[in-house]
Each structure stands twice: as structure tokens, then as C-alpha cells.
A and B are shown apart, each in its own frame.
Chain A
């Protein structure tokens, strides 16, 4: 909940609400081959430009692209043992291919950046999720 007038004057249970909220923008992509360079290169160039714009506006916190899910390892601690399995946690048709963390005043601002990211990476869906701590 953000009140338009004077963010610093918003209080929740007597606690001051910080000026900005961090959001995780997850990029979902289908499993399978990465597109050929002639497809990928202009997309990466646009993505780079968007990241730079986010940095210039003080919105950008962190961004990363990930290796394929087949390179992942899952660990789970149980009764002092740590079980290790090869591959991603969830086998599905889609996986998180990368993510960006931004800081924004409210959801509208975060969605606006999410919209831009979705435009650059079309047709990949972007999930916008607030960071709790």
C-alpha cells in the first residue's frame, strides 16, 4: 500500500515504509535449444540497452542470465544428511532463464519496467514478484 502524497509519511503498524520496494522480474522460457545467434543477438542488444536505462534511472539492482537447467544441482538437508540430485528442482516445460531485480516506488512502476522487459523478450512471460526482505 503506497499513499500517493509523501511516501515517507506512510506508516504501517507504526513502522515507516521505505521509499522503494524491490521486485524480482523472472524470465520464463521453454526448455530446449537456445535460439541461433542471428535471433539472439538483437534481443541481447535490446536487453543490454534496457538494463542500462534501468541503471541510469536508479531502478536496476541486479540482473542475470542463467545456464540451462540441465547444469543445475539440487541440495536438500535432512537429518544432518544433504541429499544431492542432478538437474533442476522442478522438471517442467518451462524454466527460469534469467532474472532482474529492480527497486520501484510501487507496483505500477514495477509493472511498467516488467512490460518493457516483456517487450524486449517477447513472447517470453515475465513474472513480477515483490521481494519480502
Chain B
């Protein structure tokens, strides 16, 4: 119970306390104090009717006690100021945009992307430094240093704690969504807790910025991709979309994601996340309408031209125009370092009756994730087996 409240309310409590205290470290300490108190008291006194409010009020009182103790004897002026600062009761509650302010602080463009990600997970997600380090496969001291340094910069350089003004909002929101999506992508394949955290953050953002279609687009995208989680791996190997067991898709997530995509369409203010969500929504409604997928990729390329998007478009194009046309487009892309470029080429070559072995080897050279490597190895094995059988058939003749 306390753990659930912790997960759900940590970010909210830290953001409210950050506003009240003007300092992230003090806010975190106070909230951790409050949860430590809850661990002792709730089993005895029972869970309070409004656990989140209880945590915030307790944290605030703890912080004031602590500041009073530290101010005692000296800094009389500061003490007086602090008492003056004691917030009104209604201020203690959840001011709706506190978490929004905090996420814009965490994702400030003056911080490096890894620092933005770490701060967001630590302060809004309530993950421990050890958990974040483990999720990103870096040693814990490295992650601890990254977080300490980022918080030090927030404080010393005065990174503001506020929602950016309208003129800056589109760019700044883009950075926030990129951080959430990066957290999701880092986790969706095999670190479920990160993917779930990203979806949770996506829901929080959507609740806080309900008029931003891209926020809903990102949430829909994450839900639809996550819906295929269970079907995505078999025996440690990636299973391609068309080979997945649809019975293992999460129907609730599919439905929610598709509903959100429809809602986005009604807005008619398309953006990259909404379009990617729409593409995934089409895939979630088999058999895939490839013409629609190509049309959506055309829109996506118009907004965010990139060779990676063009590569994905070519995959869809192979279904509508045939592999030959698709291969022409793929070969024109400058993506030699990207494993999927070679994997897609291998697939198209094979469908054209050509030898895909070299392309598969190239993909295997560049792929990093074990599950993706395993799929490529499997395809190479199958290829060699087929070649052997052909040889044997030739020998028999």
C-alpha cells in the first residue's frame, strides 16, 4: 500500500515541496522523511483518508521543523522570514501544474539528455539512483554523480521552476516528450519497469496538458507499442509484427491507444508522435492496410524528414508497390551504420529471389540488442540450412 502511494505520489509530493521550499534536495529529503514516517505510522494508525495530502502535509511540516532547527541560534532573520513563508492551508494541496513545472525543470535544454532522463526518473518517477543506474546499465556511482551534478546545475545556474511561456512551449515540450519516449524505448523490450514508468509519465503529462495533441499522440504510441509486448519476444528472439500471436496482444491497451488516435485525428493538428501512433493503430487492426500506412509515413516524412523514417516507409511500400520498388528507395538511403537498414535490405533481396546473406551479416555486425541479434542469427541459420538442402538435392540428381 505505502509502496503504491510512493510510486503514484512521489513526483507530485516532490514538485509541491519544491515550490514551497524552493530547493529540490530539501524537497526530496522532506518527502522521503514523510514516507519513512508513513511506514511507521500507517500500519498502526491506519491509512489516512487522503494519503497523498497526508504525505505532502507531513513533508512540509518536516521541512519546516528541519529549517527551524538549522536556523536556531543564528540567522534570526531567516527564521522570521521562514515563519512568514508558512504557506496557507490551501497552498499545501496539489496545485495542478506543480509536476508540470518540475518536468520542465528536469528537461531543461541546458542539461545534457542523459541528465534530463536521470532527473526526470529520480524526481518525478521516484526511482532510486540504483534503479536508474541498473535500467541504463551504468555503474551506480556514475549515475549518482550524474544526478548530483544535474541538481547542482539546477541550483547554481538557477534553472527555473516554471512552465515555459507560450512562445517557448512548443520547443520545450518537444524536449519533454523526447525524454519520456527515450525512457519508454529504453525499456519496452526487456525492462518493463521503465516502459511502465514512461507510460505513467505520459498519462501525467496528458492530464496536465490536455490541449496538446502531441502529448496524447505520444501516450497513444506508447500504449500501442506496449500492447504487443507479450508477443514481441519468443525464446529470446524478436518476433516481427506479421509473425506475432495476436491473442497475446493486450486488448485493453490496443483499445485505449486506438481511441486516443481517433481523438487525435479529430483535432486535425498532426505531429510526429500522433502519426507514429496512427501507424501503430493501423497495425493493431489486422490485416494491415498498407496503403494507409504509406500515406501516414508520407505525412511523417513531410514533418520530420529522416532516412530512418524513409526506411520504415519503404517497408510499407514493399507491400503496396512490391519489393523491387522498395529496394530502390532503400538503396538510396545513407544508413550503412544502422542494423535495420541491412535487415530490411536482406528481407527485400530474399523476396526478390536474391541472396540476402551478406546483408544479414552486415545487420548482425551492427545490431546490439541480444534479441535482435538472435533473430538475425536465426534467419542466417535458416538460409544456410536451405542452401545445404538445395546442394543435397543437386547431389541427388
Of A2, A13, A14, chain B has the most CB atoms within 10 Å of the CB of A14
How far apart are B81's CB and chain A's nearest CB, in angstroms?
6
Of B22, B108, B159, B168, chain A has the most CB atoms within 10 Å of the CB of B22
Chain A residue numbers with a CB within 8 Å of B67 are: 11, 13-14
**Docked CA distance A2–B18 (Å):** 10
Check B175 for interface membership: any CB of A closer than 8 A.
no
Check A31 for interface membership: any CB of B closer than 8 A.
no
Contact A111 B23 (CB under 8 A): no
Check B155 for interface membership: any CB of A closer than 8 A.
yes
How far apart are A33's CB and chain B's nearest CB, in angstroms?
33
Residue-wise interface mask of B (57-84) relative to A, using a CB-CB cutoff of 8 A (1 in contact, 0 not): 0000000000100110001011101100
Check B101 for interface membership: any CB of A closer than 8 A.
yes
Known A1-B155, A4-B161; judge A107-B110 contact (CB<8 A): yes
**Docked CA distance A15–B70 (Å):** 10
B18's nearest neighbour on chain A, judged by CB, is: A1
Q: Which of B24, B110, B159, B160 contacts A4 (CB 8 A)?
A: B160
**Docked CA distance A83–B301 (Å):** 62
Contact A14 B75 (CB under 8 A): yes
Check B205 for interface membership: any CB of A closer than 8 A.
no
Q: Which of B71, B108, B158, B164 contacts A14 (CB 8 A)?
A: B71
Contact A15 B78 (CB under 8 A): yes
Contact A11 B158 (CB under 8 A): no
Contact B108 A15 (CB under 8 A): no
Known A1-B161, A11-B82, A15-B75; judge A132-B22 contact (CB<8 A): no
Contact A4 B23 (CB under 8 A): no
Q: Which of A11, A14, A130 contacts B156 (CB 8 A)?
A: A130
Residue-wise interface mask of A (1-18) relative to B, using a CB-CB cutoff of 8 A (1 in contact, 0 not): 111110001111111110
Q: Which of B18, B70, B158 contacts A106 (CB 8 A)?
A: B158
Chain B residue numbers with a CB within 8 Å of A21 are: 157-158
Q: Which of B71, B75, B110 contacts A111 (CB 8 A)?
A: B110
Q: Which of A2, A9, A15, A16 contacts B158 (CB 8 A)?
A: A2
A112's nearest neighbour on chain B, judged by CB, is: B168
How far apart are A26's CB and chain B's nearest CB, in angstroms?
14
Known A1-B22, A4-B161, A10-B22; judge A16-B78 contact (CB<8 A): yes
Check A108 for interface membership: any CB of B closer than 8 A.
yes
**Docked CA distance A16–B67 (Å):** 12
Q: Which of B24, B159, B164 contacts A107 (CB 8 A)?
A: B159
Contact B85 A11 (CB under 8 A): yes
Check B26 for interface membership: any CB of A closer than 8 A.
yes
Chain B residue numbers with a CB within 8 Å of A14 are: 67, 70-71, 75, 78-79, 81-82
Contact B26 A107 (CB under 8 A): no
How far apart are B312's CB and chain A's nearest CB, in angstroms?
35
17 additional A-B pairs beyond A5-B19, A111-B110, beta carbons within 8 Å, are A1-B18, A1-B158, A2-B162, A3-B19, A4-B160, A11-B22, A11-B82, A12-B21, A13-B67, A14-B67, A14-B79, A15-B78, A16-B77, A107-B110, A108-B159, A110-B157, A130-B157
- Which 4 A-B residue pairings sit nearest by Cβ, starting from the closest? A10-B22, A4-B162, A14-B78, A14-B71
Pairs A–B under 8 Å by Cβ, sample size 25: A1-B23, A1-B154, A1-B161, A2-B162, A3-B18, A3-B19, A4-B101, A4-B162, A11-B22, A11-B78, A11-B85, A12-B22, A14-B70, A14-B75, A14-B79, A14-B81, A15-B78, A16-B77, A21-B157, A21-B158, A105-B158, A108-B159, A111-B110, A129-B157, A132-B156
